[in-house]
Structure 1
Amino acid sequence: MAGVAYGLRSIRIPLSSFLIVGAVTAVASAFAMGAAAMLGQYIDTFLAMVLGGILLILLGAWNVFHQYLTKNIPTYEVEGEVTAGKLTFSIGHLVISIMARPESADVDHLGVISPLEAVFLGLAVGADAAVGTFAAALTGALPLYTPLIIGIIHIICIGGGVVLSDRFVSDEWKRRFPFLPGTMLIVLGLLRLA
Protein backbone atom coordinates (compact mmCIF):
# COMPACT_ATOMS: atom_id res chain seq x y z
CA MET A 1 0.00 0.00 0.00
CA ALA A 2 2.80 2.41 0.88
CA GLY A 3 4.57 1.73 -2.42
CA VAL A 4 1.38 2.34 -4.38
CA ALA A 5 0.82 5.62 -2.54
CA TYR A 6 4.34 6.79 -3.40
CA GLY A 7 4.06 5.74 -7.03
CA LEU A 8 0.78 7.59 -7.51
CA ARG A 9 2.30 10.75 -6.06
CA SER A 10 5.67 10.43 -7.84
CA ILE A 11 7.61 10.19 -4.56
CA ARG A 12 11.04 8.59 -5.02
CA ILE A 13 12.66 6.22 -2.53
CA PRO A 14 16.46 5.83 -2.77
CA LEU A 15 18.08 2.44 -2.16
CA SER A 16 19.42 3.52 1.25
CA SER A 17 15.89 4.39 2.38
CA PHE A 18 14.59 1.02 1.14
CA LEU A 19 17.27 -0.74 3.18
CA ILE A 20 16.42 1.29 6.30
CA VAL A 21 12.71 0.45 5.98
CA GLY A 22 13.59 -3.23 5.60
CA ALA A 23 15.95 -3.19 8.59
CA VAL A 24 13.47 -1.44 10.91
CA THR A 25 10.71 -3.84 9.83
CA ALA A 26 12.98 -6.85 10.42
CA VAL A 27 13.88 -5.64 13.92
CA ALA A 28 10.20 -5.08 14.80
CA SER A 29 9.38 -8.58 13.54
CA ALA A 30 12.24 -10.11 15.55
CA PHE A 31 10.96 -8.46 18.74
CA ALA A 32 7.45 -9.75 17.99
CA MET A 33 8.77 -13.29 17.45
CA GLY A 34 10.66 -13.15 20.74
CA ALA A 35 7.62 -11.88 22.62
CA ALA A 36 5.43 -14.59 21.12
CA ALA A 37 8.00 -17.28 21.98
CA MET A 38 8.12 -16.11 25.61
CA LEU A 39 4.32 -15.89 25.88
CA GLY A 40 3.94 -19.26 24.15
CA GLN A 41 5.85 -20.94 26.99
CA TYR A 42 3.15 -19.99 29.47
CA ILE A 43 0.02 -20.93 27.54
CA ASP A 44 -1.27 -24.16 26.04
CA THR A 45 -0.27 -24.85 22.41
CA PHE A 46 -3.89 -25.16 21.27
CA LEU A 47 -4.78 -21.87 22.98
CA ALA A 48 -1.74 -20.21 21.36
CA MET A 49 -2.91 -21.42 17.92
CA VAL A 50 -6.43 -20.11 18.56
CA LEU A 51 -5.08 -16.75 19.81
CA GLY A 52 -2.78 -16.50 16.79
CA GLY A 53 -5.66 -17.22 14.42
CA ILE A 54 -7.88 -14.69 16.16
CA LEU A 55 -5.12 -12.06 15.99
CA LEU A 56 -4.73 -12.68 12.24
CA ILE A 57 -8.50 -12.30 11.77
CA LEU A 58 -8.50 -9.08 13.81
CA LEU A 59 -5.51 -7.74 11.87
CA GLY A 60 -7.31 -8.55 8.62
CA ALA A 61 -10.52 -6.90 9.82
CA TRP A 62 -8.51 -3.83 10.85
CA ASN A 63 -6.98 -3.66 7.38
CA VAL A 64 -10.39 -4.05 5.73
CA PHE A 65 -11.88 -1.18 7.75
CA HIS A 66 -8.66 0.87 7.66
CA GLN A 67 -9.83 2.76 4.57
CA TYR A 68 -12.91 4.02 6.40
CA LEU A 69 -11.30 4.69 9.77
CA THR A 70 -8.46 6.85 8.44
CA LYS A 71 -10.19 8.97 5.82
CA ASN A 72 -10.06 12.14 7.89
CA ILE A 73 -6.65 11.80 9.58
CA PRO A 74 -4.55 14.74 8.41
CA THR A 75 -0.86 14.53 7.64
CA TYR A 76 1.31 15.75 10.47
CA GLU A 77 3.76 18.62 10.50
CA VAL A 78 5.76 19.84 13.51
CA GLU A 79 5.17 23.52 14.16
CA GLY A 80 6.83 26.05 16.46
CA GLU A 81 9.49 25.40 19.11
CA VAL A 82 10.30 21.72 19.60
CA THR A 83 10.55 20.53 23.23
CA ALA A 84 11.29 17.00 24.50
CA GLY A 85 7.62 16.33 25.30
CA LYS A 86 6.47 17.77 22.00
CA LEU A 87 9.10 15.78 20.12
CA THR A 88 7.95 12.49 21.72
CA PHE A 89 4.33 13.25 20.86
CA SER A 90 5.36 14.43 17.39
CA ILE A 91 7.17 11.18 16.58
CA GLY A 92 4.21 9.09 17.78
CA HIS A 93 1.74 11.23 15.86
CA LEU A 94 3.92 11.12 12.74
CA VAL A 95 4.06 7.30 12.82
CA ILE A 96 0.25 7.13 13.19
CA SER A 97 -0.11 9.60 10.33
CA ILE A 98 2.19 7.46 8.15
CA MET A 99 0.16 4.34 8.97
CA ALA A 100 -2.98 6.14 7.86
CA ARG A 101 -1.49 7.91 4.85
CA PRO A 102 1.86 6.41 3.78
CA GLU A 103 2.71 9.40 1.59
CA SER A 104 2.95 11.59 4.73
CA ALA A 105 6.36 9.98 5.42
CA ASP A 106 7.71 12.61 3.00
CA VAL A 107 7.74 15.18 5.81
CA ASP A 108 9.85 17.76 3.98
CA HIS A 109 7.69 17.47 0.80
CA LEU A 110 10.74 17.21 -1.46
CA GLY A 111 9.37 14.18 -3.32
CA VAL A 112 12.12 11.88 -1.95
CA ILE A 113 12.02 9.70 1.18
CA SER A 114 15.20 10.59 3.11
CA PRO A 115 16.93 8.12 5.45
CA LEU A 116 15.36 9.77 8.53
CA GLU A 117 11.92 9.67 6.91
CA ALA A 118 12.61 6.00 6.07
CA VAL A 119 13.04 5.26 9.80
CA PHE A 120 9.54 6.61 10.47
CA LEU A 121 8.14 4.72 7.49
CA GLY A 122 9.88 1.58 8.81
CA LEU A 123 8.28 2.09 12.23
CA ALA A 124 4.85 2.41 10.64
CA VAL A 125 5.08 -0.65 8.39
CA GLY A 126 7.07 -2.49 11.07
CA ALA A 127 4.20 -2.10 13.54
CA ASP A 128 1.84 -3.89 11.15
CA ALA A 129 4.46 -6.54 10.41
CA ALA A 130 5.12 -7.06 14.13
CA VAL A 131 1.45 -7.72 14.87
CA GLY A 132 1.23 -10.24 12.03
CA THR A 133 4.50 -11.90 13.05
CA PHE A 134 3.39 -12.09 16.68
CA ALA A 135 0.12 -13.76 15.65
CA ALA A 136 1.86 -16.20 13.32
CA ALA A 137 4.51 -17.05 15.93
CA LEU A 138 1.79 -17.84 18.47
CA THR A 139 0.36 -20.44 16.10
CA GLY A 140 3.71 -22.22 15.80
CA ALA A 141 7.46 -21.72 15.82
CA LEU A 142 8.80 -19.64 12.94
CA PRO A 143 12.27 -20.08 11.43
CA LEU A 144 14.92 -17.73 12.85
CA TYR A 145 15.40 -16.09 9.45
CA THR A 146 11.75 -14.94 9.36
CA PRO A 147 12.51 -11.29 10.29
CA LEU A 148 15.08 -11.07 7.50
CA ILE A 149 12.56 -12.45 5.00
CA ILE A 150 9.90 -10.02 6.26
CA GLY A 151 12.28 -7.07 5.83
CA ILE A 152 13.18 -8.19 2.28
CA ILE A 153 9.51 -8.72 1.40
CA HIS A 154 8.67 -5.19 2.59
CA ILE A 155 11.48 -3.76 0.45
CA ILE A 156 10.21 -5.70 -2.58
CA CYS A 157 6.55 -4.82 -1.97
CA ILE A 158 7.19 -1.10 -1.47
CA GLY A 159 9.56 -0.96 -4.45
CA GLY A 160 7.19 -3.00 -6.60
CA GLY A 161 4.27 -0.85 -5.51
CA VAL A 162 6.14 2.31 -6.51
CA VAL A 163 7.05 0.96 -9.94
CA LEU A 164 3.73 -0.72 -10.72
CA SER A 165 1.48 2.08 -9.51
CA ASP A 166 3.58 4.70 -11.24
CA ARG A 167 3.31 2.87 -14.56
CA PHE A 168 0.16 0.76 -14.56
CA VAL A 169 -2.36 1.45 -11.78
CA SER A 170 -5.23 3.81 -12.43
CA ASP A 171 -7.22 5.43 -9.63
CA GLU A 172 -10.20 3.27 -10.58
CA TRP A 173 -8.26 0.04 -9.91
CA LYS A 174 -6.99 1.39 -6.61
CA ARG A 175 -10.57 2.06 -5.50
CA ARG A 176 -11.77 -1.40 -6.60
CA PHE A 177 -9.42 -3.55 -4.50
CA PRO A 178 -8.62 -1.74 -1.24
CA PHE A 179 -9.81 -4.68 0.87
CA LEU A 180 -7.73 -7.51 -0.65
CA PRO A 181 -4.84 -7.55 1.90
CA GLY A 182 -7.20 -7.51 4.88
CA THR A 183 -9.40 -10.19 3.35
CA MET A 184 -6.36 -12.42 2.82
CA LEU A 185 -5.41 -12.07 6.51
CA ILE A 186 -8.95 -12.96 7.61
CA VAL A 187 -8.88 -16.09 5.42
CA LEU A 188 -5.45 -17.04 6.80
CA GLY A 189 -6.74 -16.60 10.36
CA LEU A 190 -9.81 -18.73 9.63
CA LEU A 191 -7.60 -21.45 8.14
CA ARG A 192 -5.50 -21.41 11.33
CA LEU A 193 -8.65 -21.94 13.40
CA ALA A 194 -9.89 -24.81 11.19
Structure 2
Amino acid sequence: MHWISMIGIALAANLDNLGIGVSFGARSTRVPFISNLVIAILSMIAAYLSITLGMVISQYVPSNYANWGGGALIILIGIYAVISDYKSNSKIQNENGITSYIHSPNKADKDNNKVISWKESLTLGVALALNCVVGGFGAGVTGLSPIMTTLFIGLFSLLTVDIGVRAGQQIAKTLIGKWFNLLGGVLLICIGLYEMFV
Protein backbone atom coordinates (compact mmCIF):
# COMPACT_ATOMS: atom_id res chain seq x y z
CA MET A 1 0.00 0.00 0.00
CA HIS A 2 1.11 3.52 -0.76
CA TRP A 3 0.85 4.75 2.83
CA ILE A 4 2.78 7.93 2.08
CA SER A 5 0.40 8.88 -0.73
CA MET A 6 -2.72 8.08 1.31
CA ILE A 7 -1.54 10.14 4.27
CA GLY A 8 -0.36 12.95 1.99
CA ILE A 9 -3.67 13.15 0.12
CA ALA A 10 -5.58 13.06 3.41
CA LEU A 11 -3.45 15.90 4.77
CA ALA A 12 -3.69 17.98 1.59
CA ALA A 13 -7.48 17.51 1.45
CA ASN A 14 -7.82 18.79 5.01
CA LEU A 15 -5.47 21.78 5.13
CA ASP A 16 -8.49 24.04 4.54
CA ASN A 17 -10.05 22.43 7.63
CA LEU A 18 -6.98 23.47 9.62
CA GLY A 19 -7.24 27.03 8.30
CA ILE A 20 -10.96 27.19 9.11
CA GLY A 21 -10.32 25.80 12.58
CA VAL A 22 -7.72 28.52 13.13
CA SER A 23 -10.21 31.13 11.96
CA PHE A 24 -12.86 29.86 14.39
CA GLY A 25 -10.34 29.64 17.23
CA ALA A 26 -9.23 33.23 16.63
CA ARG A 27 -12.87 34.31 16.95
CA SER A 28 -13.43 32.16 20.06
CA THR A 29 -15.98 30.10 18.11
CA ARG A 30 -16.39 26.50 19.28
CA VAL A 31 -16.86 23.48 17.02
CA PRO A 32 -18.42 20.69 19.15
CA PHE A 33 -17.39 17.10 18.41
CA ILE A 34 -20.71 16.23 16.75
CA SER A 35 -20.34 19.17 14.33
CA ASN A 36 -16.74 18.20 13.62
CA LEU A 37 -17.90 14.61 13.02
CA VAL A 38 -20.54 15.77 10.52
CA ILE A 39 -17.83 17.62 8.57
CA ALA A 40 -15.59 14.52 8.61
CA ILE A 41 -18.41 12.19 7.47
CA LEU A 42 -19.30 14.44 4.53
CA SER A 43 -15.64 14.54 3.50
CA MET A 44 -15.43 10.76 3.74
CA ILE A 45 -18.53 10.25 1.59
CA ALA A 46 -17.20 12.60 -1.10
CA ALA A 47 -13.76 10.99 -0.97
CA TYR A 48 -15.03 7.42 -1.16
CA LEU A 49 -17.31 8.11 -4.11
CA SER A 50 -14.61 9.94 -6.07
CA ILE A 51 -11.93 7.32 -5.29
CA THR A 52 -14.29 4.54 -6.38
CA LEU A 53 -15.10 6.40 -9.59
CA GLY A 54 -11.38 6.82 -10.25
CA MET A 55 -10.82 3.09 -9.73
CA VAL A 56 -13.64 2.18 -12.12
CA ILE A 57 -12.23 4.43 -14.83
CA SER A 58 -8.72 3.06 -14.25
CA GLN A 59 -10.01 -0.41 -15.24
CA TYR A 60 -10.29 0.87 -18.80
CA VAL A 61 -6.80 2.36 -18.80
CA PRO A 62 -3.64 0.24 -19.29
CA SER A 63 -1.98 -0.29 -15.90
CA ASN A 64 1.29 1.31 -17.02
CA TYR A 65 -0.60 4.53 -17.80
CA ALA A 66 -2.81 4.54 -14.71
CA ASN A 67 -0.13 5.72 -12.25
CA TRP A 68 1.16 8.30 -14.70
CA GLY A 69 -2.33 9.58 -15.45
CA GLY A 70 -3.39 9.68 -11.81
CA GLY A 71 -0.09 11.24 -10.75
CA ALA A 72 -0.35 13.87 -13.48
CA LEU A 73 -3.93 14.66 -12.40
CA ILE A 74 -2.85 15.11 -8.78
CA ILE A 75 0.02 17.38 -9.92
CA LEU A 76 -2.41 19.50 -11.98
CA ILE A 77 -4.69 19.83 -8.95
CA GLY A 78 -1.68 20.96 -6.90
CA ILE A 79 -0.65 23.51 -9.54
CA TYR A 80 -4.23 24.81 -9.67
CA ALA A 81 -4.25 25.15 -5.86
CA VAL A 82 -0.97 27.11 -5.93
CA ILE A 83 -2.27 29.44 -8.67
CA SER A 84 -5.60 29.90 -6.86
CA ASP A 85 -3.76 30.77 -3.66
CA TYR A 86 -1.68 33.37 -5.51
CA LYS A 87 -4.79 34.92 -7.07
CA SER A 88 -6.72 34.94 -3.81
CA ASN A 89 -3.84 36.71 -2.07
CA SER A 90 -3.43 39.27 -4.85
CA LYS A 91 -7.04 40.48 -4.86
CA ILE A 92 -10.11 40.49 -2.64
CA GLN A 93 -12.66 37.88 -3.65
CA ASN A 94 -16.39 38.48 -3.44
CA GLU A 95 -17.85 35.00 -3.25
CA ASN A 96 -21.41 34.00 -2.55
CA GLY A 97 -21.40 30.29 -3.46
CA ILE A 98 -20.79 27.21 -1.36
CA THR A 99 -17.01 27.68 -1.56
CA SER A 100 -17.32 31.11 0.09
CA TYR A 101 -17.57 29.27 3.42
CA ILE A 102 -13.94 28.19 3.02
CA HIS A 103 -12.68 31.76 2.64
CA SER A 104 -15.23 33.24 5.10
CA PRO A 105 -15.94 30.47 7.65
CA ASN A 106 -17.63 32.90 10.03
CA LYS A 107 -20.62 32.81 7.64
CA ALA A 108 -21.34 29.29 8.90
CA ASP A 109 -22.23 30.64 12.36
CA LYS A 110 -25.59 31.97 11.21
CA ASP A 111 -26.97 32.74 14.68
CA ASN A 112 -23.68 34.35 15.82
CA ASN A 113 -23.66 32.42 19.10
CA LYS A 114 -19.95 31.45 18.76
CA VAL A 115 -20.88 27.75 18.44
CA ILE A 116 -21.08 25.81 15.17
CA SER A 117 -24.11 23.54 15.58
CA TRP A 118 -24.37 20.27 13.65
CA LYS A 119 -26.93 21.91 11.34
CA GLU A 120 -24.59 24.83 10.65
CA SER A 121 -21.76 22.39 10.00
CA LEU A 122 -23.68 20.77 7.10
CA THR A 123 -23.07 23.63 4.66
CA LEU A 124 -19.50 24.04 5.82
CA GLY A 125 -18.98 20.29 5.54
CA VAL A 126 -20.23 20.21 1.95
CA ALA A 127 -17.86 23.05 1.02
CA LEU A 128 -14.91 21.24 2.61
CA ALA A 129 -15.93 17.91 1.07
CA LEU A 130 -15.43 19.41 -2.38
CA ASN A 131 -11.69 19.50 -1.58
CA CYS A 132 -11.72 15.69 -1.41
CA VAL A 133 -13.42 15.03 -4.75
CA VAL A 134 -10.74 15.73 -7.35
CA GLY A 135 -7.86 14.52 -5.20
CA GLY A 136 -9.85 11.39 -4.40
CA PHE A 137 -10.44 10.76 -8.08
CA GLY A 138 -6.71 10.96 -8.76
CA ALA A 139 -6.09 8.62 -5.82
CA GLY A 140 -8.53 6.12 -7.28
CA VAL A 141 -6.89 6.20 -10.71
CA THR A 142 -3.48 5.48 -9.15
CA GLY A 143 -4.96 2.49 -7.30
CA LEU A 144 -4.93 3.69 -3.69
CA SER A 145 -7.21 1.79 -1.30
CA PRO A 146 -10.65 3.51 -1.20
CA ILE A 147 -11.38 2.39 2.37
CA MET A 148 -7.99 3.25 3.89
CA THR A 149 -7.69 6.57 2.03
CA THR A 150 -11.23 7.49 3.08
CA LEU A 151 -10.52 6.60 6.71
CA PHE A 152 -7.34 8.70 6.68
CA ILE A 153 -9.28 11.64 5.21
CA GLY A 154 -11.95 11.34 7.92
CA LEU A 155 -9.37 11.06 10.70
CA PHE A 156 -7.35 14.01 9.43
CA SER A 157 -10.56 16.04 9.06
CA LEU A 158 -11.40 15.51 12.73
CA LEU A 159 -7.85 16.27 13.83
CA THR A 160 -7.22 19.35 11.68
CA VAL A 161 -10.42 21.15 12.68
CA ASP A 162 -9.85 20.40 16.37
CA ILE A 163 -6.16 21.33 16.31
CA GLY A 164 -6.94 24.47 14.31
CA VAL A 165 -9.55 25.67 16.81
CA ARG A 166 -7.25 24.98 19.77
CA ALA A 167 -4.30 26.77 18.17
CA GLY A 168 -6.37 29.52 16.55
CA GLN A 169 -5.41 32.46 18.71
CA GLN A 170 -1.68 31.78 18.46
CA ILE A 171 -1.51 30.88 14.75
CA ALA A 172 -3.85 33.67 13.68
CA LYS A 173 -1.28 36.17 14.91
CA THR A 174 1.34 34.81 12.52
CA LEU A 175 1.62 34.47 8.75
CA ILE A 176 1.34 30.67 8.92
CA GLY A 177 -2.43 30.68 8.53
CA LYS A 178 -2.15 32.43 5.17
CA TRP A 179 -0.07 29.64 3.64
CA PHE A 180 -2.37 26.60 4.08
CA ASN A 181 -3.70 26.58 0.49
CA LEU A 182 -0.21 27.02 -0.95
CA LEU A 183 1.16 24.22 1.24
CA GLY A 184 -1.69 21.96 0.17
CA GLY A 185 -0.93 22.59 -3.49
CA VAL A 186 2.79 21.91 -3.08
CA LEU A 187 2.01 18.73 -1.14
CA LEU A 188 -0.27 17.47 -3.93
CA ILE A 189 2.43 18.14 -6.54
CA CYS A 190 4.90 16.10 -4.47
CA ILE A 191 2.38 13.25 -4.10
CA GLY A 192 1.73 13.26 -7.84
CA LEU A 193 5.46 13.02 -8.59
CA TYR A 194 5.79 10.23 -6.03
CA GLU A 195 2.97 8.25 -7.67
CA MET A 196 4.49 8.72 -11.13
CA PHE A 197 8.07 7.78 -10.36
CA VAL A 198 8.10 5.59 -7.24
TM range, smaller chain? 0.7 to 0.9
Distance 1:134 1:55, change over 3 A: same
2:137 to 134, 144, 150: 134
Q: Deviations over 1:92-140 (max 9, x none)?
A: x2x2212333333223333221212211111111111122121112111
SS of equivalent residue, structure 1 residue 171? coil
* Structure with more of its chain in helix, by fraction: 2
Distance 1:18 1:177, change over 3 A: closer
Counterpart code for 1:146: T
Deviates more, 1:109-118 or 1:9-18: 109-118
Number of matched pairs: 177
Partner of 1:89: none
Partners in 2 of 1:107 and 1:157 — Cα distance? 22
Counterpart code for 2:142: T
Partner of 1:12: 30
Deviates more, 1:113-122 or 1:63-72: 63-72
Partner of 1:72: 92
TM-score, normalised to structure 1's length?
0.79
Listed as ranges, the gaps of 5+ residues in structure 1 are: 77-92
Q: Which has the larger radius of gyration?
A: 1
Partner of 1:162: 165
Give how far 1:168 is off.
Answer: 4.6
Is the contact made by 1:60 and 1:183 (CA closer than 8 Å) also made in structure 2? yes
Give how far 1:34 is off.
Answer: 1.5
Counterpart code for 2:147: L
2:182 to 179, 184, 189: 179
Give how far 1:24 is off.
Answer: 0.6
Q: How does 1:1-194 map to 2 (within 5 A)?
A: 1-70=19-88, 71-74=91-94, 76=96, 93=97, 95-175=98-178, 179-194=182-197
Listed as ranges, the gaps of 5+ residues in structure 2 are: 1-18
Partners in 1 of 2:73 and 2:102 — Cα distance? 19
Is the contact made by 2:23 and 2:172 (CA closer than 8 Å) also made in structure 1? no
Deviates more, 1:12-21 or 1:55-64: 55-64
TM-score, normalised to structure 2's length?
0.78
Distance 1:104 1:75, change over 3 A: farther
Give how far 1:40 is off.
Answer: 1.2
Partners in 1 of 2:39 and 2:86 — Cα distance? 26
Distance 1:173 1:29, change over 3 A: closer
- RMSD of Structure 2 on Structure 1 (CA): 2.2
Deviates more, 1:163-172 or 1:29-38: 163-172
